[in-house]
Amino acid sequence: MAGGGEIRSSEEYAEVRQIEALNRMEGPDTGGSRSSSDRRRARETGLLVAGHALARAESLREALAIVPRLADSSLPLRSQMVLRSDRERLHCVDQLGFRDCGGDDFQVPLDSDHPGAHAVRTGHPVFLPSLDEYRARFPPHRQPCEQEDHQAWAYLPLITYGQVTGVWVAAFGAPVEMTDGVRALLTTVARLLGQTIERTYADETDLALSRSLRSSMSRTGPGVDGLTVAARYVPTGGGLMVGGDWFDSLSLPNGRLGLVIGDVQGHDVHAAGLMSQLRTAIHAYAAEGHGPDAVLVRASQFLAALDGDRFATCIYLEADPATGTLRIARAGHPHPVLRLPDGTCLLKHLRGGLPLGLSLGEDDYPVNVLTLREDEILMLCTDGLIETGGHDMYSGWLRVRNALAPGTSEDLEGLADRLLRAVVAPQDPEEHRPLTSLTEDDIALLLLRRDVNEPSPALLERHLSLTLEQDQAHDLSEARNEIQGLLHDWASPEQVDTAVLLTSELLGNVLVHTEEAAGLRADLEGVQGHRRLRVEVTDRSDDVPHRRAPGELSSSGRGLLLLDLLAHQWNVRPEPEGKTVWFELEEDRPET
């Protein structure tokens, strides 16, 4: 096709063929002259080229600039305008050739008898072949900018997403005989303009989504004392600003750190949307207190229900900064890499299950337990870091290892940058220029380092753990005595009484309102005078406690009210089975 390139879809091809047929609707050449036949062939070629260009236009302004290619002496198109309909009026969103007729200067009430409003209300085009007919049919509603230098008009409804959303105004410099062929041509152009508006709107929406997701990916959650995290995200070079790769970092109860990295199948906006929803779901499951295996089971079921045609690979881990213990579950994702303090890099093969969304009955994501020692780094990444640049998993792993091994582990951010430079823009050592650019896949990268502990002054740790069964309610007094013993040198005796009272309330609530045993854990940590007490009471009941408003003579119902009044912090944490209610008191804070 002359000057047109390739047609991208069967729908666009059909539109072009429809335009081709429009010229034949004018009927045979009755004049019999060769010049008339040549003009018809030239017009037919112009229709094809312009129709093809309209089908490929990426913006409304570009489409309006293409339409005049259809004009000739019999169709003297001079000006165009696109009016958008809101609930009450039509207003101009773009125009070409009109003077003083754009933006807020042109507004027409939808209930008026203006030809554009009539086209929107009825869904039928309005053709006005002369100024006399315009004046006769719509005398009160002529707009000065529409009349200037124009002698004929066509107002055609624009249909986007199955409904009339605006009007395309075509104004001509001379009277036009509105034959069936001319009307069909203008109607087809309006249809193509509607498709351009749909496509432009979709592209803008996709871009806004991509920008929003990209912004959220640039924010890494905080690490915790003893663990440092560095993260990087590089989008695909295929046009989108974000695809299906993601990472997340979140604070968990008991001071633990949760890390997740994943990759949703595909590199389109749909993959990006699924990624955003899956990322949020995993964050929520982790915040509820579920273990790594339970988080991935729930995430797999969530994705399968959300979109049965897509799957995702993922690694989720919980890190304990005090011990360096990592509990890791893997769903079809590339294995992590462990970097030792001397630079040695080990590919850690972890047991795992199927990718998320590929449930084949029972999901099984075994939990792998590793211990991260001081100054060791665990690297998690998506396959884009390994395979970009034509590498397979083996050669890509060697490239990553060579970039990860040199130097020390002190500069974690610099190490992340070095990894990306080795993959995204590898250099020719002789010419010092990039050999390849990133075009194949997204890259998500997480580095987790266990920091070297610095000596701390007189750090005190005490722990208490016991279980009260339903038939051992008499042991409640022993639990109170043990809490008092744990706090024997606490600075404020009043706070010791508070701790005993709140512990009694939590244990009593379990024994009275459930049929489960109550597990008590108390941890005292910190420096003398600045210590923190955390008490947790766990049971296997799913009933969440609710605050009540007890009367003066009520014998129960004050537990959560007392927590609100006396604890410095407290909350309820769902567990894989049951729940945990916890509170904290700080030695150097005054009584609340």
pLDDT of residue 450: 92
Residue 268 is predicted with a pLDDT of 65
> What pLDDT does 3 receive?
36
Q: How far is CA 86 from CA 60, 310, 393, 437, 523, in A?
A: 18, 37, 54, 45, 62
pLDDT confidence of residue 90: 86
pLDDT tens track for 44-59: 565 566 666 776 777 7
Residue at 191: amino acid letter = R
Q: What are φ and ψ of residue 96, in 5° steps? A: -145, 115
Which sign, positive or negative, has the C-alpha torsion 108, 114, 117, 119? Answer: negative
What pLDDT is recorded for position 426?
46
Which residues, given as ranges, of the chain have pLDDT below 50?
1-34, 237-241, 426-439, 550-556
Helices (H) and strands (E) in the chain, counts: 15, 21
Closest CA to 517 of 476, 468, 481: 468
Instruction: Report d(CA 284, CA 313) in Å as an integer.
Output: 18
Burial class (CB in 10 A: 0-12, 13-18, 19+), 407: exposed
Inter-CA distances, 220 with 137, 282, 410, Å = 64, 15, 19
pLDDT score, position 500 = 94
Would you say how long the chain is, in residues? 592
Alpha helices in 73-113 (DSSP H): none
The position carrying tokens 């879809």 is: 9
Q: Transcribe 243-296 into DSSP letters.
A: -SEEEEEEE-GGG-EEEEEEEES-SSHHHHHHHHHHHHHHHHHHHTT--HHHHH
- For residue 512, give both structure tokens: 């009275």
Tens digits of residue pLDDT in 135-176: 888 876 556 667 677 889 999 998 876 778 889 999 998 999
Give φ, ψ of 411 to 5 degrees. Answer: -95, 85
Signed CA dihedral, 94, 99, 102, 108: sign only = negative
Judge contact between 259 and 283, C-beta under 8 A.
no
The type of residue at 422 is A
- Both tokens assigned to 514: 């459930």
Place of tokens 């996709």: 206
Confidence (pLDDT) at 562:
85
Residues paired with 586 in a beta bridge: 532
Give the residue among 59, 380, 374 at the shortest CA–CA distance from 247. Answer: 380
CB within 8 Å of 138: residues ≥ 6 apart: 113, 114, 115, 118, 128
Structural domains for the chain = 10-205 (3.30.450.40), 218-450 (3.60.40.10), 459-586 (3.30.565.10)
pLDDT for residue 585: 93
C-beta of residue 86 within 8 angstroms of C-beta of residue 117: no
Residue 218 CB neighbours (<10 A):
10
pTM summary value:
0.49
Q: What is the DSSP letter of 72?
A: B
